Structure 1
Amino acid sequence: MYTFLALAPILVVLILLVVLRLPAKTSMGVAYLVTALLALFVWQASGAQVAAASVNGLIVALSLLFIVFAAILLLNTLKEGGAIVAIRKGFMDISPDRRVQVIIVAWLFGSLIEGSSGFGTPSAIGAPLLLALGFPAMASVMAMLIIQSTPVSFGAVGTPMLVGVWSGINDKPDITQAIAPLSTENYLLQIVGNVGLIHALVGFLIPLLLCGFLTRFFGKNRSFVEGLKIWPFAIFAGLCFTVPYYLVARYLGPEFPSLVGGFIGLMIVLPLAKRGFLMPKDTFDFAPRAKWDKDWLGSLPEEKFDDAIAPRFSLVHAFSPYLIVIALLIITRVIAPLKAFLTGDLTTIQFTNLFGTTISSKLQLAYSPGIILIIVALISIWLFKMNGQAVKRSWSSSATTMLAAAPALLLSVPMVQVFINSGSAAEVVNSLPAMPILLAESASGAFQNAWPLVSPWIGALGAFIAGSNTVSNMMFAYFQWSTASQIGLDANLAAQVVALQAVGGAAGNMIAVHNVVAACAVVGLMDKEGYVIRKTLVAMTYYVIQAGLIGMGIIFGQMMWWILAVIWPIAFFGIMAMTSKKAVA
């Protein structure tokens, strides 16, 4: 009964948001009430605890809205300054094929941004860029969410591993004893290498899957096969990222796999794409905008482009704000003294022990990607010699879009925080663990020796709830290790199970509710979040099943699992191809 009740908030979200496709602000409002009532009257959490979790959620939501505003502001500044015209022409000169463009912008550029910043920044930057290139708003969001999988475990310069997994395995006596004489630091590096391998084996096909989804849901023919026709280039682009990504993870650690993979991938793929390397004979483009489904469109105004008019700027000049953003993100995350200042007491607003509970929160606006985006937007005024009226329009329209997104985020994030902090107080008789922990414990009891198949799902559940691979790893890394130990796996194989947790947590970012809400907000796609999750849920399912099969092969060494790991992608892509139909929702 308790397992079902703990599942109830997730079921409410799935039914209202994904099945019934109600707006996020409605779905998450109902889910918040259900979660709060369960926490108060079933889990017997105190009113102060629920209130503190809710306030913490509001603070997190405000920080997300800050990023949303800043991302839209940068896009609007580039539009008003005339840079978007040059960027669009530059990408069209590389290739007019939308499949090529989505691989370059979402897979490679998005992975580079994820490696430097994480925390939803790839969607905040990449989705508006795809929109400006002429992609439907919903396609832009879907693409950027799907790539928030492989690079995420090493996003924000390795934070999901260095903070998430580390907090789960550090200072645990049973782990220290099991891995002796190996140090916990070296054990983490072993887990990092495992994560890099599993992600690489799954992730090299993500660009191909991305193209299939693009043509399946947004092409004139609604054909998955149309996306598969670019398979030589897509797999090549997948390997250009995953090979250096894995090598860095295995030999250098968690800080730079996604950064290096994205950078090397771009350096190889961009010039070769411009030369037509491995390009298909046909060129894929969307139908005329007048024929698009109304659900694909956001509230941002349509951009009109006359390709006969030469851009005012070169591609490098026009794209330079994004290069500055990446440079500043890397500098503020890698230079230790600067990072310490930006995250220190002088630049942090602390909310400690809210309402007398152990729940605390903080605002680090100086370290937020939002402040960098705003700084670069201000620099862009000078770069593109904008007048006062253009600047005023960019700020005004950005504020309007941000305010429209606020209700959904201000309801979804508090719901998540109440769910995570729903554990009973210690003095309560028969106290219950927090809802996500109870769900994970129930799953471990049910699956036993098949646990590596389930482990990525637990990671994905954590990310779906929390909107963060880091938080998912913090919640479940030690639980995963303990479960692995209980089913008889040694420390080396338990490290593989923890790696599966991190991989699943990365994949769960595709459907994390407040990630989806924020990504929709930056392209003006409010109230269509459920439509997006219906698509990204399919991609996430593919990812975690494949990771689980590979995990079973690595841990138990049975050929059957490796054969299934080869068959599953073929079967999945085949099913998607055979079910391509007209008028797909």
Structure 2
Amino acid sequence: MYQQVLDPVGHSLAWSSLVAALPLLVLFVLLGVLRVTAWVASLVSLALSVVIATVIYGMPVGQALLAGTEGAAFGFFPILWIVINAIWVFQMTVETGHFDVLRRSFARVSDDQRIQAIIIAFSFGALIEALAGFGTPVAVTSVMLIALGFKPLKAAVLALTANTAPVAFGAMATPIITLGKVTGLPSDTLGAMVGRQTPVLAVFVPLALVIIVSGAKGLRDTWPVALVCGVVFAVAQYATSNFVSVPLADVVASLLSAAAVVAMVRVRRPREPYTEPAVIAGGAADEPTPGFAARVARPDDRAEVVRAYAPYGIIIVVFVICQIPVVKALLDKATFTVRWPGLHLLNARGGPLALPTFTLNLLTTPGTQMLVAGLITMIALRLTVPRALKAYGATLHQLRWAIVTVMAVLALAFVMNASGQTITLGTWMAGAGGAFALLSPILGWLGVAVTGSDTSSNSLFGALQVTAANQAGLPAVLMAAANSSGGVLGKMISPQNLAIAAAAVGLDGKEGDIFRRVIVWSLIFLVALCALSALQASPVLSWMVT
């Protein structure tokens, strides 16, 4: 049995927080400064967290190692289970040649890569986030961008940057529903409050994507399309979350924003379309087949185009069906909750921690649903079983280092959570008094940076946010929502998601390069959200608080 201690270093939260932050600091320095391969950096940071847990926090070695094994298991199921099957679906389109058909079809919608990035990374990525979440949109949209000739590094950066504003409402609002459970606040109220924060980010994300594709100069030709996309998404996300349904916020926003972009392109095309020559060096996509450019102008057979889009249509249909209450309840019968063997933890107050509880949701997890979509895709693409298995084998080989990285990162997160390192950081920040309104989103950002999941961050810090809000005389619903909203910006720098993006585009070992390109956007948006949170806690924007 281990009981958490929050201030093991000189009974000081400040000094204890400095020590508790060391595994994260080492991880990001190794990735961003020293350019160490992600799986090596993750294992080094994991080892450091175990040393701090046992030597500084006094956690028994056996308990620390067991917490790490639970984290590694959670990293594989459900997270990697989703990503593996999502990439498998893509590999089957490569195996059958429908990858090129899809490439040509998108090129006919617009040959401007800035427009393509907005539609695919932002709008379509938001739809995948709404239905599946947990890294799926990064895996799917990055390879779709490569299908259009984007360089692998740029495709990964675009997919990660776009996966921000939709995240809080991802997987049918799972993060917000979880936040409601741990805080005791109504999830509809929390969703409405988040819907008054993340839409502000949504307005600017498409503009950021344009800058990533072609630099600031590219805005001169494309800003109307990007702005319309962001505004339509923001208004739809706000209106749906506040007046219709929190779980449907991203579904409605993604579809309307995509329709708005298509309509804008028909009315106002960029005067100088931007397209870079593709340089595929170790990327997930093969070079376009001979005659690809010439065939863009000549439509493919309609049946082949339908088959090329079929996998993504099948994914949407399968996920929507699985969200129907009756179907979901039936599938939920295959969900089992078990205590992780040998792991016995108490919080600092002596109460039992929920962390040792491991949930095996065999059928409701998006990974299994993605597998079903893949099996249907196999039939739709007329792929034989041996070729489908070959594609699955290629997927596992492609993701081999990402699998190690994600499992190591989640093991790190669980050791930090179990020992009390993470809650030490959060408790120290919560002591900021009235200034906590400014810092609240940072706590959510930190939680997602560690765990890779807004749901996990809300589980970790949601109750702490409410406690800190009550102590400082701040609106509890605002601080709880700020945790989820801030968390969406930690998604792009989470080593877990960096590994998924790198593996998807075939850039294993280059996670540090991706990290350096997304950290700037993460911090810019985080500063803006902190300012918004502080203003909403003040008389200036207090009218926005539910």
Q: Same fold (TM over 0.5)?
A: yes
2:236 aligned partner: 244
Does residue 200 of structure 2 align to residue 201 of structure 1? yes
Structure 2: 5+ residue runs without aligned partners?
Answer: 1-14, 346-355
Rounded to whole Å, the distance in 1 between the matches of 2:239 and 2:76 is: 38
| 1:310-362, Cα deviation, whole Å (9 max, x unpaired) | 53445343212101101111221x22232233333xx3465424214251323
**Residue 212 of structure 1 contacts residue 228 of structure 1 at CA under 8 Å; is this kept in 2?**
no
Q: Give how far 1:212 is off.
A: 0.7
Q: Give how far 1:77 is off.
A: 0.8
Q: Give how far 1:288 is off.
A: 4.7
| 1:40-91, Cα deviation, whole Å (9 max, x unpaired) | 1111122232122111122122223322321221111112222222211111
User: CA 1:305 to 1:75, structure 2 compared with 1: closer, same or farther past 3 Å?
Assistant: farther
Rounded to whole Å, the distance in 2 between the matches of 1:259 and 1:115 is: 6
1:326 aligned partner: 316
Does residue 329 of structure 2 align to residue 340 of structure 1? yes
Among residues 389, 398, 402, which one is paired with 1:405 in the alignment? 402
| 1:386-435, Cα deviation, whole Å (9 max, x unpaired) | 3566445423322321334322223222111111111xxxxxxxxxxx11
| 1:113-142, Cα deviation, whole Å (9 max, x unpaired) | 111111111112211211222112222221
Does residue 425 of structure 2 align to residue 448 of structure 1? no
**Range that drifts further, 8-17 or 226-235:** 226-235
Q: Give how far 1:10 is off.
A: 0.8
**Residue 55 of structure 1 contacts residue 414 of structure 1 at CA under 8 Å; is this kept in 2?**
yes
1:104-503 to structure 2, matched below 5 A, reads 104-163=119-178, 165-170=179-184, 184-185=185-186, 188-215=187-214, 223-227=215-219, 229-273=221-265, 275=266, 277-289=267-279, 297-298=282-283, 301-304=286-289, 306-307=291-292, 308-309=294-295, 311-312=300-301, 313-332=303-322, 334-344=323-333, 347-348=334-335, 350-358=337-345, 359-387=356-384, 390-422=387-419, 434-445=420-431, 447-489=432-474, 493-503=475-485
User: CA 1:502 to 1:421, structure 2 compared with 1: closer, same or farther past 3 Å?
Assistant: same
**Residue 102 of structure 2 contacts residue 305 of structure 2 at CA under 8 Å; is this kept in 1?**
yes
Matched residue type, 2:506: G
Q: What RMSD in Å do the two structures reach over aligned CA positions? A: 2.3
**Residue 139 of structure 2 contacts residue 501 of structure 2 at CA under 8 Å; is this kept in 1?**
yes
| 1:524-548, Cα deviation, whole Å (9 max, x unpaired) | 2211111111122111111111112
Rounded to whole Å, the distance in 1 between the matches of 2:467 and 2:389 is: 56
Q: Give how far 1:301 is off.
A: 4.1
Matched residue type, 1:329: F
User: CA 1:279 to 1:448, structure 2 compared with 1: closer, same or farther past 3 Å?
Assistant: farther
Among residues 68, 75, 94, which one is paired with 1:54 in the alignment? 68
1:544-559 to structure 2, matched below 5 A, reads 544-558=526-540
Rounded to whole Å, the distance in 2 between the matches of 1:371 and 1:116 is: 13
Does residue 105 of structure 2 align to residue 82 of structure 1? no
Rounded to whole Å, the distance in 1 between the matches of 2:231 and 2:407 is: 39
**Residue 80 of structure 2 contacts residue 403 of structure 2 at CA under 8 Å; is this kept in 1?**
yes
1:38 aligned partner: 52
User: CA 1:272 to 1:317, structure 2 compared with 1: closer, same or farther past 3 Å?
Assistant: farther
**Range that drifts further, 103-112 or 378-387:** 378-387
Matched residue type, 1:249: S
Rounded to whole Å, the distance in 1 between the matches of 2:503 and 2:360 is: 21
Rounded to whole Å, the distance in 2 between the matches of 1:365 and 1:528 is: 33
1:513 aligned partner: 495
**Residue 42 of structure 2 contacts residue 409 of structure 2 at CA under 8 Å; is this kept in 1?**
yes
Structure 1: 5+ residue runs without aligned partners?
Answer: 171-183, 216-222, 423-433, 563-585
Rounded to whole Å, the distance in 2 between the matches of 1:474 and 1:243 is: 28
User: CA 1:88 to 1:299, structure 2 compared with 1: closer, same or farther past 3 Å?
Assistant: closer
| 1:260-312, Cα deviation, whole Å (9 max, x unpaired) | 11122223323442x2x3332111112452xx8x6xx4365444352334534
Does residue 93 of structure 2 align to residue 93 of structure 1? no
Secondary structure of 1:327's aligned partner: helix
Rounded to whole Å, the distance in 1 between the matches of 2:27 and 2:113 is: 32
2:349 aligned partner: none
Rounded to whole Å, the distance in 2 between the matches of 1:387 and 1:438 is: 53
Matched residue type, 2:399: M
Q: How many residue pairs are counted as aligned between the two chains?
A: 513
User: CA 1:251 to 1:418, structure 2 compared with 1: closer, same or farther past 3 Å?
Assistant: same
**Range that drifts further, 406-415 or 382-391:** 382-391
Rounded to whole Å, the distance in 1 between the matches of 2:257 and 2:155 is: 21
User: CA 1:399 to 1:475, structure 2 compared with 1: closer, same or farther past 3 Å?
Assistant: closer
User: CA 1:474 to 1:66, structure 2 compared with 1: closer, same or farther past 3 Å?
Assistant: closer
User: CA 1:477 to 1:77, structure 2 compared with 1: closer, same or farther past 3 Å?
Assistant: same
Normalising to structure 2: TM-score of the pair?
A: 0.88
**Range that drifts further, 503-512 or 79-88:** 79-88
**Residue 112 of structure 1 contacts residue 259 of structure 1 at CA under 8 Å; is this kept in 2?**
yes
1:538 aligned partner: 520
2:9 aligned partner: none
2:11 aligned partner: none
**Residue 66 of structure 1 contacts residue 370 of structure 1 at CA under 8 Å; is this kept in 2?**
yes
**Residue 354 of structure 1 contacts residue 360 of structure 1 at CA under 8 Å; is this kept in 2?**
no
Q: Give how far 1:92 is off.
A: 0.8
Rounded to whole Å, the distance in 1 between the matches of 2:60 and 2:423 is: 18
Matched residue type, 1:413: L
**Residue 127 of structure 1 contacts residue 523 of structure 1 at CA under 8 Å; is this kept in 2?**
yes
Rounded to whole Å, the distance in 2 between the matches of 1:159 and 1:288 is: 37
1:525 aligned partner: 507
2:10 aligned partner: none
Rounded to whole Å, the distance in 2 between the matches of 1:41 and 1:342 is: 44
1:72 aligned partner: 87
Rounded to whole Å, the distance in 1 between the matches of 2:93 and 2:202 is: 32
